[in-house]
Amino acid sequence: MEITSLGFRTDLLLLELGGSEFRDTGEYVVVRTPLNPGFWWGNFLLYRTPFAPDDTKIRLDDFHREFPDAKHGAFGIDSTDGEVGAEDELTAAGFEVERNVVMTADRVVPPPRPNEQATYRFLSSDRDWEQVYEQSLACAAMTVDDDYKEFTRRKLVAKRGLVESGHGQWFGAFDGDRLQSSLGLMFDGRGLARFQNVQTSPEDRGRGLAGTLVHHASTYGLEHAKRLVMVADPEYLAIRIYRSVGFTDTETQLQIARPPA
């Protein structure tokens, strides 16, 4: 299965390691995660071409046929230039188009404002992982209801499973035993390492923790891989942190989603 986008290629790698299933129809790839049906970006259609006029209805019909019980709608486009096509039709149908920056690094530099007070280490206990769950809820950009808690819990099980299966590590910045910032770094075994879920607890932001943790994990990652991959929101301040330690913009990743009604 040929995937052009480095962002989606590494996304699918991690999904596959976590038990997701793929089916390539030629026109699109069906990405399915049976263990977490509420995970939008584990249950979506990845198209190989942008949206032509009138494609929104056709592709939404494809989605409902592939995911008849889904409450959401989600599409990706396997490209690198951020060109979505008939964006006005998607917007009119209630979809939001998200253009994220795929960043890469083959060497890193220390952050301009390192935090030297925290302890940086791998997660090592049930309590460490439970704090990642609690942190994820605290950092959520949407309403935290029972469905979101279940989705987050299932994702945590998948993350921990990848680490315990030897596919990567999860890192934390700690004040004593209290988790302040966290992230994952997973390896494809062929020279790539992909970052996951960089997050800092709201009460700990602005202290240089994320940049220091990213640099710490990157240094570890480049001992085991040749190239690091990070996907970032271009409108969020964290992208400046990644650039400050040596990541450069490489591609644009397109994700198109409509939340449950």
**Structure pTM?**
0.92
Task: Select from 6, 2, 15 the least CA-distant residue to 161.
Answer: 15
CATH architecture of 119-245: 3-Layer(aba) Sandwich (3.40)
Residue 14, Cα to own-chain centre: how many angstroms? 9
Q: What is the pLDDT of residue 38?
A: 87
Q: DSSP label at 44?
A: E
Q: What is the pLDDT of residue 258?
A: 95
- Domain residue ranges in the chain: 6-100, 119-245
pLDDT in tens, the chain (261 residues): 899 999 999 999 999 988 999 999 999 999 999 989 989 999 999 999 999 999 999 999 999 999 999 999 999 999 999 999 999 999 999 999 999 999 999 999 999 999 999 999 999 999 999 999 999 999 998 889 998 999 999 999 999 999 999 999 999 999 999 999 999 999 999 999 999 999 999 999 999 999 999 999 999 999 999 999 999 999 988 999 999 999 999 999 999 999 987
Contacts of 15 (CB under 8 A, 6+ apart): 31, 33, 42
Task: Yes or no: say if 239 and 114 are a contact pair by the CB < 8 Å rule.
Answer: no
Cα–Cα dist 174/210, whole Å: 12
Task: Yes or no: say if 15 and 167 are a contact pair by the CB < 8 Å rule.
Answer: no
